[in-house]
Amino acid sequence: MTERKIKIALVQLACSQDRAQNLKKGLARLEEAAQNGAQVVVFPELSFLPFLPQHPAEPGFEGWAEPVPGPTTDILARKAADLGVVVIFNLLEIRDGKTYDSSPVIDSDGRLLGLNRMVHVMEAPGFHEKGYYRPGDLGAGVFQTAVGKLGVAICYDRHFPEYMRALALKGAELVVTPQAGAKGEWPAGLFEAELQVAAFQNGYFCALANRVGQEEAVEFDGGSFVVDPSGQVIARAVREKEDLLLAELDFSRLRDCPARKHFLADRRPEIYHKL
């Protein structure tokens, strides 16, 4: 594998009830990221919306939803083409009357390559997701983009090793996680450790873009980060305020990482069900 370096930007946003203002702020950050050389730009979960599941779902919540392709996807696609960057964001998708937690993947020429729907849906205080989202039905999404093979693990999906391994088996070089992680939700460092292990065991880079800021019922923590395929955190955003995190990824490092040299080749899936 020849040297192949890319620059990624994680946009750590705080969102209000004003969808238009949130989008305007996100587009400004997208332009800033491109001006700083980013080739891939990732936004948090429900990128330009308030975090809807902080309250149980009530009738009419579907008013926040939109189809894919749809208005926001079209705006981001035009901007991606203008700037020449790959864009991954997240929205409340509606299709055939069903709603999903979904991340469209837009290539650097503005083409919508597809979307990933969050497969696993949780229910907990401040995260009343089962009333909003149907479990995703599109599998573990890996997309061939202008910069390489990019996998998506939306928020809760990152907790499932089977899902993270599936992304590796589909050839992901970089796994991005649009996230809504609350302050104090888990012991300090656990989210980072979880993706450090996933990157190490599966042989890809991981990049988690988190929400930030106090909303009605939940305060989001920020602290977006990037992990290399040896399991080391190589870049970290600040906590508790908005930030734009930039990091360089050297994909030539994938060739000699432990997972690609040893773990994936030595798997024995034909006997696992016997153990």
- Domain spans of the chain? 5-267
Quote the CATH superfamily of domain 5-267. Carbon-nitrogen hydrolase (3.60.110.10)
Q: Which single residue is written with the structure tokens 């290399």?
A: 228
The model's pLDDT over 39-89, given as tens digits with 9 standing for 90+, comes to 999 999 999 999 999 999 999 999 999 999 999 999 999 999 999 999 999
Q: How confident is the model at residue 1 (pLDDT cuts 50, 70, 90)?
A: very low
Q: In the numeric block, which tokens belong to residue 232?
A: 């080391």
**138/143 Cα distance (integer angstroms):** 12
CB of 116 closer than 8 Å to CB of 102: yes
> Lowest-pLDDT range, 137-146, 183-192, 201-210?
183-192
> Lowest-pLDDT range, 3-7, 200-204, 235-239?
3-7
The model's pLDDT over 14-41, given as tens digits with 9 standing for 90+, comes to 999 999 999 999 999 999 999 999 999 9
Instruction: Quickly count: other Cβ atoms within 10 Å of residue 239's Cβ.
Output: 15
- In this structure, which amino acid lies at residue 18? D
**CA neighbor of 86 nearest in space, from 34, 49, 46:** 34
Look at residue 187 and tell me whether its pLDDT is greater than 80. Answer: no
**164/120 Cα distance (integer angstroms):** 12
Look at residue 186 and tell me whether its pLDDT is greater than 90. Answer: no
Residue with more model confidence, 234 or 275: 234
- In this structure, which amino acid lies at residue 39? Q
Look at residue 188 and tell me whether its pLDDT is greater than 80. Answer: no
φ/ψ bin of 246: left (φ > 0), alpha (ψ from -120 to 50), beta (otherwise): beta
Q: What are phi and psi of 133, to 5 degrees?
A: -115, 135
Share of the chain above pLDDT 70, in %: 99
Return the ∠ at Cα 42 (arms to 40 and 47), rounded to 5°: 150
Residue 2's pLDDT is 57
Residue 51's pLDDT is 98
The model's pLDDT over 132-176, given as tens digits with 9 standing for 90+, comes to 999 999 999 999 999 999 999 999 999 999 999 999 999 999 999
Task: Kindly report whether the peptide bond that precedes residue 69 is cis, defined as omega within 30 degrees of 0.
Answer: yes
Q: In the numeric block, which tokens belong to residue 78?
A: 């035009």
